[in-house]
Structure 1
Amino acid sequence: MPTSNHLAELPSSSAAASSAPRKRGRAAAQANARVGLPDLTAHLSFDSHEPIGKQIFRALREAIFVGQMVPGTPLSEKEVSDMFQVSRQPVREAFIKLVEAGVLQVLPQRGTFVKRISPRRVREGRFIREAIETAVVRKAAVSITDEQLQALAENLREQKLAAKANDTAAFLALDEAFHYAIARAIDCTAAWETIQDIKAQMDRVRYLSLPDVSPLDLLIRQHAKILAGLRAHDPTAAEDAMRRHLREILVSLGPIAERNPAWFEADEPERVPLSS
C-alpha cells in the first residue's frame, strides 16, 4: 500500500521493514524454531543509522501488537540475539524499554514473558494521549498549510483503499501516519514520540478490535471529521473530532476483553474515573 511522500517519514511505522537484513546462520534458525518466535529479521538493517537496540525494540513491539507473540510467550536475550545475530546488549536495551512500555514482564526465577493487557493502563494511556493530541490538533488547525492538508487528504484516500481491501495492517500504518503528520504540521514530532510508550496498551487493543468491534469505515469517518476541522481552521471542531476519535477505544475495550479473556489482566478501576 503506497503512502503519500509527505507521510512516509513516520519513524515507527508498522509498514517499515529493512531491505538489507543480515542473514542468520543455521544454528540461529534452529534456535528460533524451537521457541516458536516469529522471524523478525526483515525489520533489522545494519546499514541504518538507527541504533540496533531501537530497531529490535520496534520489531518486538510490533510483533506483540499484531499478535505474533501472544500473552505468555517466553522471550530470552540469547534467543533473540541469536535470531538477529547481534550481541545481547542491544537486546537487553530493547527488553528494558518493552518492560517500561508494559508489554513485557520479568518473573523472578522464571524468565521474561509477553504481558497481558491491562485495561486500566489502556484507559490511562488514552487519557494522556487525548490531552496531548487535542492540544496538538488545536494548534494545527490554526497553522496547517494547504500542502499539509493535501497530504492528509491523500492519506485518508489510502485508508479507504486499505479498508476496501480489508488490509488492517496497511490501515494501521496509515492511521499512525495520519496522527504523526498532524504533529509534524506544528513542527512538534516530540509530542508524537512522547505518547509512543504511553499508547502501547491502546495499540494492542486497537489491533484486536479491527475490524469487527471498531469497523474501519467508522474510524475513517472520524479521521475525516478531524480533517474537516483542520481544513476549516476551526480549533474547537478539530479538537472535538479528535476527542471523539480517541474515546472510541473506551467503547471497544469491554467487548474485546470479553472476547479475548486470555489476553487481559483483571481490571482495576481507577479511584477517579478517566473515561469521562
Structure 2
Amino acid sequence: MTIVYPFTTHEPVNQQIYHLLRQEIVDCTIRPGTLLSEKEISTRFNVSRQPVREAFIKLSETGLVQILPQRGTFVMKISAKRVSDGRFIREAVETAIIRRAALSITPEYLMQLKHNLHRQELAANNKRGKEFLELDDEFHRTFTQIVNCPMAWETIENIKATMDRVRFMSLADVSPPESLIEQHYQIYKALESRDPDAAEKAIQRHLSEMISTVTTISQLNTDWFEADE
C-alpha cells in the first residue's frame, strides 16, 4: 500500500522529499552503498519522478549521494575530509554570527534559547536522540535569527549534511548529549553576558569536538567511511 505523505503547501514537494530522504540517510536508516530508485521513491511518496530527480540532485550537492550515469543514484560513504572541511566553513560562519548575536541579543531570544536548552535536557534524559539533534539545530539556527541573517543558516544547512551523519552516530558513546548540552550552556552564558569574545571561544570549542569525534567514529565504523586521500 502506498503511503501518502502529508506534504505541506509552503515548500516545494521536491524540497520536502529531499528533507525526508536526507533525514533517513543522516539517522542511518539508509546505509552507504544503497541504490536509490527514482521509480521506488516516486511510488513511495505518490509523486511523479521529476521532484524525486530534483531531490536526488540536491542530495548529491550536499555530498550524501552520488549520481552515476547509466548506473543509478547511490548513498555515499562518509568522507572524513568533507566533514573536516564542512566544520571549518561552519566555524567561520558561526563565529561571525555569534559575535554579532552577543551584541544584539534580546531578553526574548535569551528566553527562547533557555527554553530550548531545557527541552534538550528532557530529550537527552529520555534517550530521544533524533529529537535532541533537532533541538540542537534549532539552538544554532536561533543565532542566525537573532542577527536576522537566514542565509547564514541556509549555508550551514547545506554544508553540514555529512557532519550530521557523524553527529548521529556519535550520540551513544563518543559524544553524548550531556556534554553537548554543557557546551550549549557555555554559549548561552556568553550571550547572556553579551560577551562576544567569550561567545566566540565557546562556539569554537563546541564545534572543534567534531574533529576528535569523526576520528573515533571512523575507527569504529570503517565500512561506513571512504578512504580519503
Normalization by structure 1: what TM-score? 0.81
Matches of 1:65 and 1:92 in 2, distance apart? Answer: 19
What is residue 127 of structure 1 aligned with on the other side?
A: 88
After TM superposition, the structure 1 = structure 2 runs for residues 99-178 of structure 1, keeping only pairs within 5 Å, are 99-178=60-139
Q: Does 1:261 align with 2:222?
A: yes
What is residue 69 of structure 1 aligned with on the other side?
A: 30
1:108, distance to aligned residue in structure 2 (A): 3.7
- Encode CA deviations 1:237-264: one digit per residue, 9 max, x unaligned: 0011000101111111111001111110
Aligned residues: percent identity? 53
What is residue 197 of structure 1 aligned with on the other side?
A: 158
1:106, distance to aligned residue in structure 2 (A): 2.0
Matches of 2:71 and 2:38 in 1, distance apart? Answer: 14
Matches of 2:75 and 2:24 in 1, distance apart? Answer: 10
Give the AA of the match of 2:122. L
1:136, distance to aligned residue in structure 2 (A): 0.3
- Encode CA deviations 1:4-36: one digit per residue, 9 max, x unaligned: xxxxxxxxxxxxxxxxxxxxxx3xx4xxxxxxx
- Encode CA deviations 1:70-126: one digit per residue, 9 max, x unaligned: 001111111111111111111111000101111001234322111000000000000
Give the AA of the match of 2:17. I
| Secondary structure of the structure 1 residue equivalent to 2:66 | strand
Q: Does 1:206 align with 2:157?
A: no
What is residue 142 of structure 2 aligned with on the other side?
A: 181
| Secondary structure of the structure 2 residue equivalent to 1:112 | strand
What is residue 11 of structure 1 aligned with on the other side?
A: none
What is residue 9 of structure 2 aligned with on the other side?
A: 48
Identify the range of structure 1 (136-145 vs 104-113) with the bigger mean alpha-carbon deviation. Answer: 104-113
Q: Does 1:218 align with 2:179?
A: yes
Q: Does 1:95 align with 2:56?
A: yes
| Secondary structure of the structure 2 residue equivalent to 1:71 | coil
What is residue 8 of structure 1 aligned with on the other side?
A: none
Matches of 1:115 and 1:197 in 2, distance apart? Answer: 16
Moved over 4 A (4+): none
- Encode CA deviations 1:161-187: one digit per residue, 9 max, x unaligned: 111111111110100000001110111
Identify the range of structure 1 (156-165 vs 102-111) with the bigger mean alpha-carbon deviation. Answer: 102-111
- CA-based RMSD of the aligned residues comes to 1.2
1:66, distance to aligned residue in structure 2 (A): 0.2
1:49, distance to aligned residue in structure 2 (A): 2.1
Greater relative contact order: 1 or 2 (C-alpha under 8 angstroms, separation 6 or more)? Answer: 2
Matches of 1:136 and 1:236 in 2, distance apart? Answer: 12
Matches of 2:67 and 2:157 in 1, distance apart? Answer: 21
Normalization by structure 2: what TM-score? 0.97
Matches of 1:250 and 1:262 in 2, distance apart? Answer: 19
What are the ranges of 5 or more consecutive residues in structure 2 without an aligned counterpart? none
